[in-house]
Amino acid sequence: MPTISVIIPTYNSEKTIKATIESVIKQTFSDWELIIINDGSQDSTLDIALQVKDSRIKVFSFNNAGLSASRNRGLKCAVGEFISFLDADDIWISDKLEIQLKALQENPQAAVAYSWTDYIDENGKFAFSGSYINVNGDVYQHLLMSDFLENGSNPLIRKEAFTVLAGFDETLRAAEDWDMWLRLANKFDFVCVPSVQILYRVTPNSLSSNVINQEKFCLEVLRRGYQERPPSLKYSWNISLAKLYRYLTCKALQKPFTRQKSLASAKFLCNYLWNESLILQYITFKLFTTYYDKLRMKF
């Protein structure tokens, strides 16, 4: 039985799927199985995946059902003690599995190990760096502020953690990763591997480029998260919204430019500035009242 099950959901990924599979084969940790879920691809994705000869690779084909459904299908096939998902256009650094597994073995109280991400373009060249956030243990409040794992190709997760969760939410058409990380963080500790191990490919036609869907489902995930465990910081909702709309503004300004994205970027920028102003007002008010109380006690 393999130690780690790697799950690649793929749909029309003929340009990148081979490089993604090769990044798994090149891992320094070799006791894995690779489960490729072909989600009704209409190009040569399936043919390319089947051409890779390795006894550890299993390929399954289904009718198109979306990313979350494909990941859930992969979970049902997985037999490893640990699970890691890899999107079909992303790449792992060769020691990703080895170091994340070591982190979980050294921290038995944690169920999720995550690393840092850099971003690459369509040609695999470096585009920009990720957030490089390093938090450990109960990270729920940090995740409410932003999805610092940044993508679904990041964490290594103990499979037993999924037994208390209902899998990925198939009603979400975006932000399904963030939703899963929040549900995991509500029950389990996380441990950070402070090293870049995921190369996330930025492409104009990726699911994350649909900024309207991103806004809708990110807001839904945030509302759920705050209902599940409200934070103690009174203006944390505004911090979450400010960070979300700053991210969405940047996404909307990425190429290719369209009229819809231009209008969306203006809306997102206004929401970002509004929430930033509310945070500043609240902090100013707290500082003023604290100073006033101290001054009154003095006299």
What is the predicted pLDDT for the residue at 233?
77
Judged on CB neighbours under 10 Å (0-12, 13-18, 19+), 190 is buried
pLDDT top residue among 209 and 33: 33
Burial of 26 (0-12, 13-18, 19+ CB in 10 A): middle
- H runs (alpha helix) in 151-258: 159-162, 176-185, 211-228, 236-252
Angle (CA) 163 56 125, round 5°: 90
Say which CATH superfamily domain 4-209 falls into: Spore Coat Polysaccharide Biosynthesis Protein SpsA; Chain A (3.90.550.10)
Which comes out higher in pLDDT, residue 44 or 286? 44
Model confidence band, residue 216 (pLDDT cutoffs 50, 70, 90)? very high
Each residue's pLDDT tens digit, 91-132: 999 999 999 999 999 999 999 999 999 999 999 999 999 999
Q: Tell me the pTM.
A: 0.91
Q: What is the pLDDT of residue 53?
A: 93
Domain boundaries, the chain: 4-209, 232-298
How many Å apart are CA 172 and CA 110, to the nearest integer?
Answer: 26
Q: What is the pLDDT of residue 291?
A: 47
pLDDT at position 256, please?
75
Closest CA to 190 of 122, 268, 138, 242: 138
pLDDT one-digit tens code per residue, 242-261: 999 999 999 888 877 788 88
Beta bridge partners of 5: 33, 83
- Summarize pLDDT for 141-197 with one digit per residue, the tens: 999 999 999 999 999 999 999 988 989 999 999 999 999 999 999 999 999 999 999
pLDDT single digits (tens) 33-73 = 999 999 999 999 999 999 999 999 999 999 999 999 999 99
Longest dimension (CA), the chain: 82
- Check if the beta carbon of residue 180 is closer than 8 Å to that of residue 168: yes
